[in-house]
Amino acid sequence: MSAWKILLTDGLEENGKAILRASAEVTDQPGITAEDLLKVVGEYDALIVRGRTKVTPEVFAAGKKLKVVGRAGVGVDNINLPAAKESKVTVVNSPLATTVAVAELAMGLMLSSVREIARADASMKAGKWLKKEFEGAELCGKTLGVIGFGRIGSAVAARAKAFEMKILAYDPLIPAEEIKKRGGEPATLDEVYKNADFITMHMPLTADSKGMLNAEAFGKMKQGVYIVCAARGGVIDEAALLDALNSGKVAGAALDVFSAEPPGLTDLVAHPKVTNTPHIGAQTVEAQARAANDIAEEVLNALNDKPLRWKVA
């Protein structure tokens, strides 16, 4: 066995741990505090996290031996990439593992929102029969605006087509011809806002995307639009969304992610036209097993200076 030491701070499925333990010494400390992480990270060559652990500049400074940080999942907004670069630490993720899980959840959220499935179920559990209150709408024949047409966005589009929806796709990083190949009709943001009956967000959280669904954006949308977000909470201005819900501009919203997590019982979470889930997009048995396998292999490749598939920084 090599002398590599690897620290897990947010847990990892057993198949991933087995891959790591075959080649390295693995310490599993799920739930470790930020303060304790700073005390011990200097002992390790690799750190594997999910979304909970914040890999700050202080972590990189304390991690004198760190060679690689792995994110078991897609988003790396909890990892300070400039600090990683400055410290010459490689950052890798597992971007393919959760595509199906997130895409399926986005479709589930869309259906739940437009048919008010969660509220209907709650009313039944309260012993009520409110059939006439739950007149929804159909997805068939409606226009879905997909903002972010990468792996997950295009996977949502493929599933929405089975519901006979028209797909408008916006992604500044993907050429129009590629968007067409993936099953979308290329559109500008304003075209999406103007024409979409449903809008689903699949953008990473960056300086450009933060708060992109704001009051101005909602003002350009159709009356009665539905909003779905299983990407990153920060891409939506939550105060503006609440106003749009209260005015009726937005008929319903379904959110798996929030600007602050957990958000607590905010006015947005409590709103009767909002369906909430606690950031469960990647939480399927299959996705977690894939993520564990992929990140374990990628971290070991980084430690052993082998070619990388998913280097982020």
- Residue 261 known to be catalytic: yes
Closest-CA residue to 141 (of 120, 166, 159, 116): 166
| Residue of 50, 71, 151, 232 marked active site | 232
- Residue 202 known to be catalytic: no
Segment 237-242 mean pLDDT: 98
Per-residue pLDDT at 1 exceeds 80: no
- pLDDT of 276-288, one tens digit each? 999 999 999 999 9
- Residue 115 known to be catalytic: no
| Residue of 151, 279, 290, 298 marked active site | 279
- Give the predicted TM-score (pTM) of the model: 0.89
pLDDT band at 29 (very low <50, low <70, confident <90, very high): very high
Per-residue pLDDT at 310 exceeds 80: yes
Per-residue pLDDT at 132 exceeds 60: yes
Rounded CA-CA distance 76/49 in Å is 10
Per-residue pLDDT at 15 exceeds 80: yes
Instruction: Compute the radius of gyration of the chain from its Cα atoms.
Output: 21
Give the domains, in start order, of the chain with CATH numbers. 5-97+285-303 (3.40.50.720), 99-276 (3.40.50.720)
The pLDDT > 70 percentage for the chain reads 99
Could you please report the per-residue DSSP string of 120-155?
HHHHHHTT---GGG-----STTPEEEEE--SHHHHH
- pLDDT of 168-197, one tens digit each? 999 999 999 999 999 999 999 999 999 999
Per-residue pLDDT at 230 exceeds 80: yes
- pLDDT of 216-225, one tens digit each? 999 999 999 9
- What local confidence, expressed as pLDDT, does residue 218 receive? 98
Per-residue pLDDT at 3 exceeds 90: no
- What local confidence, expressed as pLDDT, does residue 2 receive? 61
For residue 10, CA distances in Å to 31, 187, 267 come to 6, 39, 30
Strand-by-strand arrangement of the 185-186 sheet: 185-186, 166-170, 143-147, 198-201, 225-229, 250-255, 274-276
| Residue of 164, 261, 286, 309 marked active site | 261
Quick one: DSSP state of residue 235?
G
- What local confidence, expressed as pLDDT, does residue 117 receive? 97
